[in-house]
Each structure stands twice: as structure tokens, then as C-alpha cells.
RNA sequence: AGACAGGUGGCCGAGUGGUCGAAGGCGCACGACUGGAACUCGUGUAGGGUUAAUAGCCCUCGAGGGUUCGAAUCCCUUCCUGUCUGCCA
């Protein structure tokens, strides 16, 4: 959630920032009004409560002293009745405020480039040259079929469309990648965690998936549980509603989880193959950082993900997202796009974001800064999306006969 | 899943209708003592909101609702923990 006090005191500036993310000034105007209304309603209610409390204290005193309480009782009853509409008003004001506030995306950093969509993203650098093929490289689904690696049909039979089954070498390669990623992240100082794959609504709200993006999530029937769309949710919320010691920052965490997404908004895109599935494996990095040092942590995370791709010999480029392409919670995001020679395209394989204090405010993650509590910064990034790495290896390491080499660094894991 | 017992501050633990945001202890922080430390003594030590304010006021004793002038204390719902039973890897 954005800082409502900041919005109140710097409306023009805040409004300009959120325009980059396509939030119109009218919505913000409304939010500002709702915030002021809540404050007003609370002030009125609290004054009445203070009155009530002090009279109640007197009441006890009178009784002890054996004084007559009839008059006081009448006053206190009247005040109590007068409080009912105030109570109602405050409650309504709060509900109205949060309905709007929780749906407002994070402020982008000032450095974020202007732009509408992915076409306006800015390439920062390319790493490794794509390999020159002396034959026509195949797309991963063709290679999958040749090698018997991915069983799309039976995945659909078991669940529904956009589920698949990895078989034999592919399944082993998937597992090797997970281990390779986790080991690498651990060597960089990330603690490895194994977390629940279902989280409750409060956690999903903490990281920003709820209430606005409920349709993208798989919900467990009759339970307050959702399948996680990314390990960002459990890892970030590990410290939900906690106050950390400053000395433990930055907290660096990594974990492997499957991720579950309904992907309601992406119908029709990437229907072929394994790019966009309802379930996929991912190794995630999450950092809880001191607000003054989150930029360093961010750079480190980007470098780590890039280094992993380099170690695998996969050509990629580093792209900074423009305002229009930034996710809901992110203040700044850098994507790593891996080269897919079969598709002749760079495709997203990792997305690293600094959410500043946006998630921390929602999830109430703070640290002790001297005597005061301050919100931390939270960061997350894939290192890496496993299925897409598998695809990238298939397409980049293919031979003319359709066979696939195993990258050197993975051999000890196979 | 069923039965019973519980959920109080960083931890332990008292508190069964008013003077309780909460005794006492431990821990922690600072200070005194010391060459330095231990011991001892003193002081301090929850979170959120409002506010210029670490002043005042409001809210929070798992969560939500109710009774009452007044609730940590009484009632209801719910979640969680423990023990036993069942089930299971």
C-alpha cells in the first residue's frame, strides 16, 4: 500500500508518479478525500469515547463513595447512544478507504523510464553472444517431441489444458536445475527455505496479490487458502507482522516452489509449448532490506540471476521495465530475457523487483531503527524460472539431429 | 476429525467486572560500583492511530462480535496450541 500521509501532503508529486503506472488523478483525489474523511470520523468518535471513558471512571468512583449516580447514568446513557452513528460512520469510512487504497499500485521510482508497455522497456546490456547455427534450430516443443521429454497430452488429461508432464531426462534436468539454482543462491548468502505451497488470504494481501488479483489465483474450496503464484508470497510474508532487529538486515532467502497461476489475463498467448503454464517450478530470491541499502541488494540480485544464466552458457539481455509494464507492487523491475533460437526471440526468464516499502506496509514488516520502528524494503526475483530455463537449454543446446547437450555445470547434478 | 485443557508484554507468569496496558520474575538496554568483569543496586523496556510532539487522547491481553455506565476478567463465534483418541507419510 502506498503511504497515505505522503499522498495527502504531496498530492501533485504523488499523482505525477502514479500517472506512469496509469492511475488517473481522479482515483487519487478520491483516495485523498476518503483518507481525510476517515481521519475526521475517527476524531469525532475518539472524542466521544474519551468522554465515555472518563464518565465511566467517575461512575465507579461515585459508587464507591456512595454518591447518587442517577444523573451521571443519564448522561452516560445519552452519550452512549450518540456514539452509535459515529461508530457506524467511522467503520464505513475505513472500509471505503481500504477498498480503494488496496487497489492502488506502488509508486515507480523516479528513474523508471516512461512508457506504455513492453515495447518501451529499455535494454541495459546483452550478455553472451547467441550461438550461430548451421541448421534451422527447432522450437522447444518440437525438440520435446523428438526426445520424448514433455508429455503435453497426458498433462491435459491429468488436469486440464496448460498442464504438462516432464519425462525421463527432462524430469531429471528439471530437478538438476532446481538444485543448481539453490546451491548457487546459497553460496551467495541466501538462506534456503522450504515453505508451504498454500498461503492464507492475509499473506496474499501482504504481497499485493489480494484483493485485486483474486482471479489469477487458485483457491482451495472451503478453506482460507490459496495455491501460491510465486514463492515471493511465503518468503516475503515469513516476517509478516514482525519487527526485526536492524542487525539481521538484509535477510536473504531462497526457496524452490511450484507456482500456480490461473493466468486469466493471458488467454491466447503462448498456448503452444511450455512457456505459459498453470503450474511451473521456480527458485525465488527474496530480500528484506534496510531502506537505505535496498538498491545495493537489488543490484546484487540482478547480478546473481544473470551470473546463473552465464554459468549455464545461456545468452540473455538485461532489460529495465518502463512504468506501464511494471507490476502492481514494484517500484523498479529488471527483467532478464533469455535467447530462444527456435523462437528467434528473447523471452523473460527472471524478473527482479524492488517494492520499496509497499509490501512492507501491507505486511507490517518493520525493523527497530534506534527506538523507532521503520518499514523495511522488500525485494524479490527469480533465480530462475525452472521450466523456462529448461526450454532455453533445449533450444540453445540442440544438435542437428534433435539431441540436446547438457550444460557443463549441470553434469554433476545429473 | 472427536474429547478435554489452554491462548496475557521478547520469554515465564499473576490477574475472575472499575484505581489494569497489566504485579512479579527472566531477558535486554543504559547508569553506578570495578583495573576489567561477574555479583549487587538504580532506571528504562509492547504495538497501532491521531498530533509539531517520545504531551494528551483513542484502540489492542489470539481474532471477530455481544452483555455492561465500565471487560484481560461474563456470553457467542472463530483461529491457534497442548494432551488423549481416530487417521495418515
% of chain A beyond a pLDDT of 90: 78
CA end-to-end distance (rounded Å), chain A: 44
A331 three-class SS: coil
**Residue A69: what pLDDT?**
81
Helix axes A140-147, A169-187, angle to 10 degrees: 120
How far apart CA A264 and CA A245 sit, in angstroms, is 40
How far apart CA A50 and CA A202 sit, in angstroms, is 32
pLDDT category of residue A265 using cuts at 50, 70 and 90 = low
- What's the Å distance between residue A251 CA and nucleotide B38 C1'? 35
Average pLDDT over residues A110-120: 93
Is the separation of the CB atoms in A294 and A180 below 8 Å? no
Nine-digit cell string for A280: 511451473
* pLDDT above 80: residue A304: yes
H or E segment and range at residue A241:
none
Give one DSSP letter per residue of A40-101, joined into a string.
Answer: HHHHHHHHHHHHHHHHHHHHHHHHHHT---HHHHHHHHHHHHHHHHHHHHHHHHHHHHHHHH
- What's the Å distance between residue A314 CA and nucleotide B58 C1'? 59
**Residue A222: what pLDDT?**
84
Nine-digit cell string for A161: 489444458
| Average model confidence (pLDDT) across chain A | 92
Nearest nucleotide by C1' position to the A77 CA atom: B69
Burial A6-38 (b: 16+ CB within 10 A, else e): ebeeeeeebbebbebbebeeeebeebbebbebb
- Closest among A65, A66, A42, A62 to A54, alpha carbons compared: A62
Residues in chain A: 414
Nearest nucleotide by C1' position to the A73 CA atom: B69
- What's the Å distance between residue A370 CA and nucleotide B30 C1'? 13
Nearest nucleotide by C1' position to the A46 CA atom: B58
What value of ipTM does the predicted structure carry? 0.88
**Residue A14: what pLDDT?**
93
How far apart CA A365 and CA A357 sit, in angstroms, is 9
How far apart CA A134 and CA A276 sit, in angstroms, is 29
Stated pTM of the model: 0.93
How far apart CA A182 and CA A190 sit, in angstroms, is 9
* pLDDT above 90: residue A223: no
Is the separation of the CB atoms in A27 and A7 below 8 Å? no
**Residue A175: what pLDDT?**
97
- Closest among A350, A192, A383 to A284, alpha carbons compared: A383
User: How does DSSP classify residue A256?
Assistant: E
- What's the Å distance between residue A195 CA and nucleotide B84 C1'? 30
- What's the Å distance between residue A212 CA and nucleotide B61 C1'? 34
- What's the Å distance between residue A365 CA and nucleotide B38 C1'? 38
**Residue A22: what pLDDT?**
87
Positions of A annotated as catalytic residues are 261, 276, 348, 351, 388
**Residue A207: what pLDDT?**
95
Cα R_g (chain A), whole angstroms: 26
Is the separation of the CB atoms in A274 and A150 below 8 Å? yes
% of chain A beyond a pLDDT of 70: 99
- What's the Å distance between residue A370 CA and nucleotide B40 C1'? 29
* Protein residue minimizing CA–C1' distance to B46: A243
β-strands A251-260, A279-289 pairing? antiparallel
**Residue A266: what pLDDT?**
60
A20 three-class SS: coil
* pLDDT above 90: residue A36: yes
pLDDT category of residue A264 using cuts at 50, 70 and 90 = low
pLDDT category of residue A40 using cuts at 50, 70 and 90 = very high
Protein contacts on strand B: list nucleotides below 7 Å from a Cβ. 18-19, 47-51, 57-59, 69-70
pLDDT tens-place string over residues A20-33:
888 989 999 999 99
How far apart CA A333 and CA A348 sit, in angstroms, is 12
Nearest nucleotide by C1' position to the A373 CA atom: B47
* Protein residue minimizing CA–C1' distance to B57: A50
* pLDDT above 80: residue A370: no
* pLDDT above 90: residue A261: yes
* pLDDT above 80: residue A105: yes
Nearest nucleotide by C1' position to the A79 CA atom: B69
A117 three-class SS: coil
Query: Which residues does nucleic strand B approach, with CB less than 7 A?
Result: A 5, 39, 42-43, 45-47, 49-50, 52-57, 59-60, 63-64, 73, 76-77, 80, 243, 366, 368, 373
Nearest nucleotide by C1' position to the A80 CA atom: B69
pLDDT category of residue A343 using cuts at 50, 70 and 90 = very high
* pLDDT above 90: residue A271: no
**Residue A267: what pLDDT?**
58
How far apart CA A371 and CA A173 sit, in angstroms, is 50
Amino acid at each position: 500500500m502506498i503511504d497515505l500521509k505522503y499522498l495527502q501532503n504531496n498530492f501533485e508529486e504523488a499523482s505525477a508518479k502514479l500517472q506512469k503506472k496509469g492511475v488517473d488523478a481522479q482515483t487519487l483525489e478520491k483516495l485523498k478525500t476518503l483518507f481525510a474523511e476517515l481521519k475526521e470520523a475517527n476524531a469525532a468518535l475518539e472524542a466521544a469515547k474519551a468522554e465515555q471513558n472518563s464518565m465511566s471512571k467517575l461512575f465507579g468512583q461515585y459508587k464507591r463513595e456512595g454518591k447518587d449516580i442517577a444523573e451521571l447514568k443519564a448522561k452516560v446513557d445519552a452519550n452512549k447512544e450518540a456514539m452509535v452513528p459515529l461508530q457506524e460512520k467511522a467503520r464505513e469510512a475505513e472500509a471505503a478507504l481500504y477498498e480503494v487504497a488496496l487497489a492502488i499500485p506502488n509508486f515507480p521510482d523516479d528513474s523508471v523510464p516512461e512508457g506504455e508497455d513492453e515495447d518501451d522497456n529499455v535494454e541495459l546490456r546483452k550478455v553472451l553472444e547467441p550461438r550461430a547455427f548451421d541448421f534451422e534450430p527447432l522450437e522447444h516443443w518440437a525438440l520435446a517431441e523428438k526426445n520424448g521429454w514433455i508429455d503435453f497430452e497426458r498433462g491435459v488429461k491429468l488436469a486440464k489444458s496448460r498442464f504438462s508432464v516432464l519425462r525421463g531426462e527432462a524430469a531429471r534436468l528439471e530437478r538438476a536445475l532446481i538444485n543448481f539454482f539453490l546451491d548457487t543462491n546459497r553460496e551467495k548468502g541466501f538462506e534456503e527455505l522450504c515453505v508451504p505451497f498454500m498461503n492464507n488470504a492475509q499473506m496474499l494481501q501482504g504481497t499485493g496479490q489480494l484483493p485485486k488479483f483474486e482471479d489469477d489465483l487458485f483457491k482451495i474450496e472451503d478453506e482460507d487458502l490459496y495455491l501460491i503464484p510465486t514463492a515471493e508470497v511465503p518468503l516475503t510474508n515469513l516476517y509478516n507482522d514482525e519487527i526485526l532487529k536492524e542487525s539481521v538486515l538484509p535477510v536473504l532467502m531462497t526457496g524452490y516452489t511450484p507456482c500456480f497461476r490461473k493466468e486469466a489475463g493471458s488467454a491466447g498467448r503462448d498456448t503452444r509449448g511450455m512457456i505459459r503454464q498453470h503450474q511451473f517450478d521456480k527458485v525465488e530470491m527474496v530480500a528484506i532490506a534496510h531502506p537505505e541499502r535496498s538498491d545495493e541488494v537489488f543490484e546484487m540480485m540482478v547480478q546473481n540471476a544473470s551470473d546463473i544464466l552465464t554459468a549455464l552458457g545461456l545468452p540473455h539481455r538485461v532489460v529495465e521495465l518502463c512504468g506501464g509494464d511494471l507490476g502492481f507492487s514494484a517500484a523498479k523491475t529488471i527483467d532478464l530475457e533469455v535467447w530462444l533460437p527456435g523462437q528467434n526471440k528473447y523471452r523473460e526468464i527472471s524478473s527482479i523487483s524492488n517494492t520499496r516499502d509497499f509490501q512492507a506496509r501491507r505486511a507490517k514488516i518493520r525493523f527497530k531503527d534506534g527506538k523507532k520502528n521503520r518499514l523495511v524494503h522488500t525485494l524479490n526475483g527469480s533465480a530462475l524460472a525452472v521450466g523456462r530455463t529448461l526450454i532455453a537449454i533445449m533450444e540453445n543446446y540442440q544438435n542437428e539431429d534433435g539431441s540436446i547437450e547438457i550444460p557443463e555445470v549441470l553434469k554433476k547434478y545429473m
